[in-house]
Structure 1
Amino acid sequence: MRVALFVTCVNDLLYPDTGRAVVTLLERLGVEVGFPPAQSCCGQPQFNTGYRHETEPLVRRYAAAFEDYDYVVAPSGSCAAMVRDNYPRIAERAAAEGRDEGLAAAAASSVPKTYELTEFLVDVLGVTDVGAYFPHTVTYHPSCHGLRMLGLGERPRRLLEAVAGLELRELEGAEECCGFGGTFAVKNPDVSVAMGEDKIRHALDTGAQVLCGADNSCLMHLDGFLRRQDAPLRSVHLAEILASTREEPYRPARPFAPVETGKIR
């Protein structure tokens, strides 16, 4: 089984520890992970902003970069959804305009082997207990792309519930958008801020030490609110929690706050 990490732009530039955590986790589970250096952006920012033609070379680039692998694993539901949901749409539109230029073949080869991390763990490797240890209270925010486009369902929660030492606390309004939405936050800042403030209020109400998510783009948005408030809650990507063990525990850049009890669970 040839498996590649698609680290994504956000993780590569801002959250490299998440990419390293994915490799650590998969190698612990016996998976040899490759990292083709030709990988680049999936094209989501361009596509979501209306630049479909400018996205097309990135569809072909993605297919070429990962052509030698059986599976491509991404620690990002939004990027995985871009490949699985939008690449076929891009290829179909190009074909309708009489200029396929290899897009149909690129999409056909990319879609079936691209997986978000939690669905790869649960559906392909068949595991929920990955041997992780994370002795902290956690609340989980399911991002929109993973929830609605990929249909991740309970996979992330099942993985978290199997982590030794972890107490999972329920997040009110968990299925509501955090307000990031990529360029949505730029084009609609007032609405985005209001949505983010709602999400953070509910997260703080849980009394958890950690706000967990499977998309660092959403966590980046929410972490901005937390930092400006100097809140006691820390954001951590799911991969970093799953990579943490008793022998090699997760070490936060800033200490976690003491556990609060008597909160919503």
Structure 2
Amino acid sequence: MRIALFITCFNDTMFPGTGRAVVTVLERLGHTVEFPREQTCCGQMHFNTGYRPDAVPLVDRFSRTFAAYDAVVTPSASCAGMIRENHPVLAADLGDAALQRQVAEVMPKVHEFTEFLTDVLGVTDVGARFPHRVTYHPTCHSLRGLRLGNRPLRLLEAVKDIDLVDLPAADSCCGFGGTFAVKNAETSGAMLADKADGVLATGAEVLCAADNSCLMHIGGGLSRRDSPVRTMHLAEILAATEGTRDDRAW
């Protein structure tokens, strides 16, 4: 299987370690991962803020860049959702038959990281060890958009020596929502406060999720409370092998 990593512009700029973690896990499972350098943004920022025509060239570029691969894996539920749900919409709006065919061929090959592991590779135990108290926040795009269900939790439960604890009101939004946090700062801040209260109530050392954008938002709120709770993308926990012979920096 020819696998490509779609890192997303947000992760590439702010959290490149997440991409390295995805590659570490997949290589540990015996797969080679390629990184097409031609990749850019999926167009989510443009689409969500009403700049649909500006997103179309990005849709075209994405589908051409990843056309040759059997699977495209991304550590972002929101970007996976954008590609699968809205790339066809943009291609249809344009009325470009060639682009519609192009998108239709690539779209089914795009997988969020945890669903690729569980649904495509059929694994939950990826050989990770992480001896820490962890709680999981299901982001809105992973929970309501992609409907990942318990896939992330099944992967976390298989991590050796992890102390996985439930997050109170886990299915409530953290208040990020991209530009929502800027345009509706007071509402966003109130939602963030509730989410941070829930995280602190768990006594967890680490909060993890499938979207770094939400982790950045929650992490900011926790840091302003001088909380020692760390935020980590789920891929980084799955890449960890703390205390084993395979333990290494990634």
TM-score, normalised relative to structure 2: 0.96
Query: Aligned letter for 2:169?
Result: G
Query: Aligned letter for 2:128?
Result: A
Aligned equivalents of 1:60 and 1:180: distance in 2?
28
SS at match of 1:72: strand
Aligned equivalents of 1:110 and 1:77: distance in 2?
17
SS at match of 1:229: coil
Q: Which residue of 1 aligns with 2:45?
A: 45
Q: Which residue of 1 aligns with 2:92?
A: 92
Deviation of 1:249 after TM superposition, in Å, equals 4.5
The answer to whether 1:218 aligns with 2:200 is: no
**Residue of structure 1 aligned with 2:135, choices 93, 118, 139:** 139
SS at match of 1:102: helix
The answer to whether 1:12 aligns with 2:12 is: yes
Deviation of 1:90 after TM superposition, in Å, equals 1.1
Deviation of 1:67 after TM superposition, in Å, equals 1.2
- Which blocks of at least 5 consecutive residues in structure 1 are unaligned? 252-265
SS at match of 2:224: helix
The answer to whether 1:25 aligns with 2:18 is: no
TM-score, normalised relative to structure 1: 0.91
SS at match of 2:59: helix
Query: Aligned letter for 2:203?
Result: G
Residue deviations 1:33-72, cap 9 Å, x none? Answer: 0000000000000000000010000000001111110100
Q: Percent identity?
A: 60
Q: Which residue of 1 aligns with 2:112?
A: 116
The answer to whether 1:168 aligns with 2:171 is: no
Deviation of 1:230 after TM superposition, in Å, equals 1.1
Q: Which residue of 2 aligns with 1:254?
A: none
Residue deviations 1:156-197, cap 9 Å, x none? Answer: 000000000101100011011111111111211111111111
Q: What RMSD over aligned residues (CA atoms) do the two structures have, in Å?
A: 1.4
Deviation of 1:101 after TM superposition, in Å, equals 6.4
Q: How does 1:1-265 map to 2 (within 5 A)?
A: 1-95=1-95, 100=96, 102-245=98-241, 246-249=244-247
Aligned equivalents of 1:37 and 1:75: distance in 2?
17
Query: Aligned letter for 1:19?
Result: G
Deviation of 1:247 after TM superposition, in Å, equals 3.3
Aligned equivalents of 2:63 and 2:56: distance in 1?
11
Aligned equivalents of 1:128 and 1:142: distance in 2?
17
Aligned equivalents of 1:163 and 1:247: distance in 2?
16
Query: Aligned letter for 1:220?
Result: M
Aligned residues of 1:74 and 1:117 also touching (Cα < 8 A): yes
Query: Aligned letter for 2:234?
Result: L
Structure 1 stretch 159-168 or stretch 102-111: which is displaced more? 102-111
Residue deviations 1:187-237, cap 9 Å, x none? Answer: 111111111111010010000100011100000011111111110211011
Deviation of 1:250 after TM superposition, in Å, equals 7.9
Query: Aligned letter for 2:197?
Result: R
Structure 1 stretch 223-232 or stretch 129-138: which is displaced more? 223-232
Structure 1 stretch 242-251 or stretch 139-148: which is displaced more? 242-251
Query: Aligned letter for 2:15?
Result: Y
SS at match of 1:110: helix
Aligned equivalents of 1:214 and 1:58: distance in 2?
23
- Which blocks of at least 5 consecutive residues in structure 2 are unaligned? none
Aligned equivalents of 1:194 and 1:109: distance in 2?
42
The number of aligned residues is: 248
